[in-house]
Amino acid sequence: MAAGKDASLRIATFNVNGIRSRLPHLLQWLEKEAPDIACLQELKAADAGFPIEAIRDAGYGALWMGQPSWNGVAILARGGDPIESRRGLPGMRDDTQSRYLEAAAHGVIVGCLYLPNGNPRPGPKFDYKLQWFDRFIEHAQTLFDSKHPVVLAGDYNVVPTDALDIYDPTHWRKDALLQPETRERYEALLAQGWTDALRTLHPEEKIFTFWDYFRNHWPRNAGLRIDHLLLSDDLAPRLKAAGVDRWVRDLKGASDHAPTWVEIGAKKAAKKVAKRKA
Protein backbone atom coordinates (compact mmCIF):
# COMPACT_ATOMS: atom_id res chain seq x y z
CA MET A 1 0.00 0.00 0.00
CA ALA A 2 1.03 3.61 -0.41
CA ALA A 3 2.39 4.06 3.10
CA GLY A 4 5.87 4.93 1.95
CA LYS A 5 7.70 6.25 -1.07
CA ASP A 6 8.49 2.79 -2.43
CA ALA A 7 5.15 1.18 -1.55
CA SER A 8 2.73 -0.22 -4.11
CA LEU A 9 -0.66 1.35 -4.76
CA ARG A 10 -3.97 -0.51 -4.65
CA ILE A 11 -6.81 1.03 -6.66
CA ALA A 12 -10.29 -0.48 -6.63
CA THR A 13 -13.71 0.04 -8.15
CA PHE A 14 -16.94 -1.02 -6.45
CA ASN A 15 -20.54 -0.55 -7.58
CA VAL A 16 -22.14 -0.41 -4.14
CA ASN A 17 -25.74 -0.36 -5.46
CA GLY A 18 -26.91 2.05 -2.75
CA ILE A 19 -24.33 3.52 -0.40
CA ARG A 20 -26.68 3.99 2.54
CA SER A 21 -27.95 0.42 2.59
CA ARG A 22 -24.50 -1.06 1.80
CA LEU A 23 -22.48 1.21 4.09
CA PRO A 24 -21.68 -1.60 6.58
CA HIS A 25 -20.37 -3.72 3.69
CA LEU A 26 -18.33 -0.82 2.33
CA LEU A 27 -16.75 -0.11 5.70
CA GLN A 28 -16.01 -3.79 6.29
CA TRP A 29 -14.32 -4.00 2.91
CA LEU A 30 -12.29 -0.81 3.45
CA GLU A 31 -11.06 -2.10 6.79
CA LYS A 32 -10.11 -5.55 5.51
CA GLU A 33 -8.67 -4.75 2.07
CA ALA A 34 -7.49 -1.15 2.69
CA PRO A 35 -7.39 0.11 -0.91
CA ASP A 36 -5.47 3.35 -1.34
CA ILE A 37 -8.07 4.63 -3.80
CA ALA A 38 -11.64 3.39 -4.20
CA CYS A 39 -14.04 4.41 -6.95
CA LEU A 40 -17.70 3.90 -6.08
CA GLN A 41 -20.73 3.79 -8.38
CA GLU A 42 -24.50 3.76 -7.97
CA LEU A 43 -24.51 5.74 -4.74
CA LYS A 44 -28.27 6.25 -5.19
CA ALA A 45 -28.15 9.17 -2.76
CA ALA A 46 -28.22 12.95 -2.96
CA ASP A 47 -25.05 14.83 -2.04
CA ALA A 48 -26.41 15.55 1.42
CA GLY A 49 -26.99 11.84 2.00
CA PHE A 50 -23.39 10.80 1.41
CA PRO A 51 -22.00 9.27 4.66
CA ILE A 52 -18.85 11.38 4.77
CA GLU A 53 -18.37 11.16 8.54
CA ALA A 54 -18.34 7.36 8.47
CA ILE A 55 -15.95 7.44 5.53
CA ARG A 56 -13.61 9.81 7.36
CA ASP A 57 -13.76 7.70 10.49
CA ALA A 58 -12.57 4.80 8.34
CA GLY A 59 -9.50 6.83 7.39
CA TYR A 60 -10.54 8.07 3.96
CA GLY A 61 -11.10 11.42 2.33
CA ALA A 62 -13.74 11.61 -0.38
CA LEU A 63 -15.23 13.43 -3.33
CA TRP A 64 -18.72 12.56 -4.45
CA MET A 65 -21.32 13.47 -7.04
CA GLY A 66 -24.70 12.29 -5.87
CA GLN A 67 -28.15 11.99 -7.36
CA PRO A 68 -31.35 11.05 -5.53
CA SER A 69 -32.33 7.40 -6.06
CA TRP A 70 -30.15 6.85 -9.14
CA ASN A 71 -26.55 6.83 -10.35
CA GLY A 72 -23.93 8.73 -8.34
CA VAL A 73 -20.15 8.29 -8.18
CA ALA A 74 -17.46 8.88 -5.56
CA ILE A 75 -13.69 8.69 -5.19
CA LEU A 76 -12.18 7.75 -1.82
CA ALA A 77 -8.51 8.21 -0.95
CA ARG A 78 -6.86 6.70 2.08
CA GLY A 79 -5.28 9.26 4.38
CA GLY A 80 -6.40 12.43 2.60
CA ASP A 81 -8.85 14.13 0.29
CA PRO A 82 -8.64 13.54 -3.47
CA ILE A 83 -8.06 16.72 -5.49
CA GLU A 84 -10.94 17.20 -7.91
CA SER A 85 -10.11 17.85 -11.55
CA ARG A 86 -13.41 17.24 -13.33
CA ARG A 87 -17.10 16.69 -12.63
CA GLY A 88 -18.99 15.29 -15.62
CA LEU A 89 -17.70 14.75 -19.15
CA PRO A 90 -16.71 17.55 -21.53
CA GLY A 91 -19.42 18.37 -24.04
CA MET A 92 -22.23 17.10 -21.82
CA ARG A 93 -23.00 20.20 -19.82
CA ASP A 94 -26.75 19.54 -19.96
CA ASP A 95 -26.43 15.96 -18.72
CA THR A 96 -28.28 15.68 -15.41
CA GLN A 97 -27.05 12.17 -14.57
CA SER A 98 -24.15 11.83 -12.11
CA ARG A 99 -21.82 9.42 -13.88
CA TYR A 100 -18.26 10.78 -14.05
CA LEU A 101 -15.87 12.18 -11.46
CA GLU A 102 -12.14 12.75 -11.83
CA ALA A 103 -9.48 13.51 -9.25
CA ALA A 104 -5.81 13.27 -8.37
CA ALA A 105 -4.79 11.07 -5.46
CA HIS A 106 -1.58 9.30 -4.43
CA GLY A 107 0.23 10.51 -7.53
CA VAL A 108 -2.27 9.30 -10.14
CA ILE A 109 -5.30 10.74 -11.92
CA VAL A 110 -8.39 8.64 -11.40
CA GLY A 111 -11.48 8.76 -13.59
CA CYS A 112 -14.45 7.14 -11.84
CA LEU A 113 -17.29 6.27 -14.19
CA TYR A 114 -20.70 4.69 -14.22
CA LEU A 115 -21.43 4.14 -17.88
CA PRO A 116 -25.14 3.98 -18.80
CA ASN A 117 -26.70 0.53 -18.85
CA GLY A 118 -28.55 1.18 -22.10
CA ASN A 119 -31.54 -1.12 -21.63
CA PRO A 120 -34.04 -1.50 -23.10
CA ARG A 121 -32.78 -1.35 -26.63
CA PRO A 122 -33.45 -0.08 -29.17
CA GLY A 123 -34.59 3.19 -27.69
CA PRO A 124 -33.49 6.44 -26.05
CA LYS A 125 -31.62 4.71 -23.21
CA PHE A 126 -29.41 2.82 -25.64
CA ASP A 127 -28.90 5.97 -27.72
CA TYR A 128 -27.83 7.80 -24.55
CA LYS A 129 -25.41 5.00 -23.69
CA LEU A 130 -23.68 5.29 -27.05
CA GLN A 131 -23.60 9.09 -26.92
CA TRP A 132 -22.11 9.03 -23.42
CA PHE A 133 -19.60 6.37 -24.46
CA ASP A 134 -18.47 8.47 -27.44
CA ARG A 135 -17.87 11.49 -25.21
CA PHE A 136 -15.98 9.32 -22.76
CA ILE A 137 -13.75 7.95 -25.53
CA GLU A 138 -12.91 11.50 -26.61
CA HIS A 139 -12.01 12.50 -23.06
CA ALA A 140 -10.04 9.30 -22.52
CA GLN A 141 -7.88 10.17 -25.52
CA THR A 142 -7.11 13.57 -23.99
CA LEU A 143 -6.13 11.93 -20.71
CA PHE A 144 -3.98 9.34 -22.46
CA ASP A 145 -2.20 11.99 -24.51
CA SER A 146 -1.44 13.99 -21.35
CA LYS A 147 1.16 11.34 -20.39
CA HIS A 148 0.04 11.56 -16.77
CA PRO A 149 -0.44 8.28 -14.87
CA VAL A 150 -4.18 7.63 -15.24
CA VAL A 151 -6.61 4.92 -14.17
CA LEU A 152 -10.14 4.80 -15.63
CA ALA A 153 -12.10 2.72 -13.14
CA GLY A 154 -15.74 1.89 -12.88
CA ASP A 155 -18.82 0.03 -14.01
CA TYR A 156 -18.57 0.17 -17.80
CA ASN A 157 -21.70 -1.90 -18.41
CA VAL A 158 -19.79 -3.71 -21.16
CA VAL A 159 -19.11 -7.44 -21.42
CA PRO A 160 -16.00 -7.41 -23.64
CA THR A 161 -16.15 -11.00 -24.94
CA ASP A 162 -18.39 -14.06 -24.99
CA ALA A 163 -15.57 -16.48 -24.24
CA LEU A 164 -14.24 -15.29 -20.88
CA ASP A 165 -16.37 -12.41 -19.60
CA ILE A 166 -19.81 -14.01 -19.21
CA TYR A 167 -21.00 -17.37 -17.92
CA ASP A 168 -23.26 -17.98 -20.93
CA PRO A 169 -24.21 -15.32 -23.49
CA THR A 170 -27.24 -17.23 -24.79
CA HIS A 171 -29.88 -15.36 -22.78
CA TRP A 172 -28.08 -12.00 -23.01
CA ARG A 173 -27.93 -11.59 -26.78
CA LYS A 174 -30.42 -8.72 -26.82
CA ASP A 175 -28.96 -6.98 -23.77
CA ALA A 176 -27.22 -3.63 -24.24
CA LEU A 177 -24.12 -4.95 -22.44
CA LEU A 178 -23.28 -7.34 -25.30
CA GLN A 179 -24.23 -5.34 -28.37
CA PRO A 180 -21.67 -4.87 -31.16
CA GLU A 181 -21.92 -1.07 -30.84
CA THR A 182 -21.08 -1.33 -27.14
CA ARG A 183 -18.17 -3.71 -27.60
CA GLU A 184 -16.77 -1.73 -30.52
CA ARG A 185 -16.53 1.33 -28.31
CA TYR A 186 -14.76 -0.59 -25.58
CA GLU A 187 -12.30 -1.86 -28.20
CA ALA A 188 -11.83 1.72 -29.39
CA LEU A 189 -10.74 2.64 -25.86
CA LEU A 190 -8.18 -0.16 -25.79
CA ALA A 191 -6.96 0.87 -29.24
CA GLN A 192 -5.97 4.24 -27.76
CA GLY A 193 -3.39 2.35 -25.72
CA TRP A 194 -5.22 1.66 -22.44
CA THR A 195 -4.50 -1.64 -20.68
CA ASP A 196 -7.37 -3.76 -19.36
CA ALA A 197 -5.62 -4.66 -16.11
CA LEU A 198 -7.62 -7.69 -15.03
CA ARG A 199 -7.60 -9.34 -18.44
CA THR A 200 -3.89 -8.63 -18.94
CA LEU A 201 -2.92 -10.54 -15.81
CA HIS A 202 -5.55 -13.27 -16.28
CA PRO A 203 -5.63 -13.74 -20.07
CA GLU A 204 -7.35 -17.15 -20.14
CA GLU A 205 -9.44 -17.18 -16.97
CA LYS A 206 -13.18 -16.68 -16.70
CA ILE A 207 -13.51 -13.79 -14.27
CA PHE A 208 -16.74 -12.11 -13.19
CA THR A 209 -17.49 -8.93 -11.24
CA PHE A 210 -21.31 -8.91 -11.35
CA TRP A 211 -23.90 -11.56 -10.51
CA ASP A 212 -27.58 -10.75 -11.01
CA TYR A 213 -29.92 -11.18 -8.06
CA PHE A 214 -32.30 -13.31 -10.07
CA ARG A 215 -32.23 -17.09 -10.72
CA ASN A 216 -29.46 -17.84 -8.20
CA HIS A 217 -26.76 -16.29 -10.35
CA TRP A 218 -24.37 -15.91 -7.41
CA PRO A 219 -24.60 -19.49 -6.02
CA ARG A 220 -24.17 -20.80 -9.58
CA ASN A 221 -21.32 -18.38 -10.33
CA ALA A 222 -23.31 -17.22 -13.33
CA GLY A 223 -21.61 -13.86 -13.63
CA LEU A 224 -20.45 -11.15 -16.00
CA ARG A 225 -17.32 -9.01 -16.11
CA ILE A 226 -18.48 -5.42 -16.50
CA ASP A 227 -16.33 -3.57 -13.95
CA HIS A 228 -12.98 -2.60 -15.44
CA LEU A 229 -9.80 -0.71 -14.59
CA LEU A 230 -7.94 0.67 -17.59
CA LEU A 231 -4.34 1.83 -17.13
CA SER A 232 -2.37 4.43 -19.07
CA ASP A 233 0.95 3.44 -20.61
CA ASP A 234 2.82 4.97 -17.66
CA LEU A 235 1.09 2.62 -15.20
CA ALA A 236 0.73 -0.55 -17.26
CA PRO A 237 4.38 -1.68 -16.88
CA ARG A 238 4.01 -1.29 -13.11
CA LEU A 239 0.98 -3.58 -12.87
CA LYS A 240 1.73 -6.22 -10.22
CA ALA A 241 -1.62 -7.82 -9.40
CA ALA A 242 -5.34 -7.61 -10.12
CA GLY A 243 -8.37 -9.41 -8.78
CA VAL A 244 -11.93 -9.44 -7.49
CA ASP A 245 -12.90 -9.43 -3.81
CA ARG A 246 -15.60 -12.07 -4.22
CA TRP A 247 -16.16 -12.43 -0.48
CA VAL A 248 -18.00 -9.09 -0.48
CA ARG A 249 -20.62 -10.45 -2.89
CA ASP A 250 -21.25 -13.32 -0.46
CA LEU A 251 -22.31 -11.03 2.40
CA LYS A 252 -25.96 -10.97 3.41
CA GLY A 253 -27.80 -8.29 1.45
CA ALA A 254 -24.75 -7.62 -0.73
CA SER A 255 -24.49 -5.48 -3.82
CA ASP A 256 -24.78 -7.45 -7.04
CA HIS A 257 -21.19 -6.36 -7.83
CA ALA A 258 -17.93 -7.30 -6.10
CA PRO A 259 -15.01 -4.88 -5.70
CA THR A 260 -12.40 -5.18 -8.43
CA TRP A 261 -8.84 -3.98 -7.88
CA VAL A 262 -5.33 -3.53 -9.23
CA GLU A 263 -1.99 -3.22 -7.50
CA ILE A 264 0.51 -0.82 -9.04
CA GLY A 265 4.20 -1.02 -8.15
CA ALA A 266 6.26 1.99 -7.22
CA LYS A 267 7.80 3.98 -10.05
CA LYS A 268 11.47 3.26 -10.39
CA ALA A 269 13.72 6.25 -10.00
CA ALA A 270 15.76 7.19 -13.03
CA LYS A 271 19.37 6.12 -12.76
CA LYS A 272 21.85 8.94 -12.42
CA VAL A 273 24.51 8.96 -15.07
CA ALA A 274 27.94 9.85 -13.75
CA LYS A 275 29.63 12.69 -15.56
CA ARG A 276 32.89 11.76 -17.20
CA LYS A 277 35.91 13.84 -16.40
CA ALA A 278 37.30 15.84 -19.27
- Pairing between β-strand 37-41 and β-strand 9-15 as defined by DSSP bridges: parallel
pLDDT at 274 over 90: no
pLDDT at 273 over 60: no
Q: How confident is residue 7, by pLDDT bands cut at 50, 70 and 90?
A: confident
**Interhelix angle 124-145/180-191, nearest 10 degrees:** 10
Residues flagged as binding site for Mg(2+): 15, 42, 155, 157, 256-257
pLDDT tens profile 129-172: 999 999 999 999 999 999 999 999 999 999 999 999 999 999 99
Q: How confident is residue 270, by pLDDT bands cut at 50, 70 and 90?
A: low
Strand order in the sheet with 83-87: 83-87, 100-105, 108-114, 150-155, 227-231, 195-196
Active site residues: 114, 155, 257
Q: How confident is residue 63, by pLDDT bands cut at 50, 70 and 90?
A: very high
Averaged pLDDT, 231-239: 98
* Domain definitions of the chain by residue range: 9-264
What lies within 8 Å, CB to CB, of 229 at 6+ separation is 11, 13, 151, 152, 153, 196, 197, 198, 242, 260, 261, 262
Among 21-30, 35-44, 212-221, 268-277, where is mean pLDDT lowest? 268-277
pLDDT tens profile 188-203: 999 999 999 999 999 9
Question: Do 129 and 152 contact (CB within 8 A), yes or no?
Answer: no
CATH of domain 9-264: 3.60.10.10
Residue 268 is predicted with a pLDDT of 73
Q: Give the integer Cα–Cα distance in Å for 92 and 136.
A: 10
pLDDT at 272 over 80: no
pLDDT at 101 over 60: yes
pLDDT at 276 over 50: no
Question: Do 8 and 263 contact (CB within 8 A), yes or no?
Answer: yes
Residues flagged as binding site: 15, 42, 155, 157, 256-257
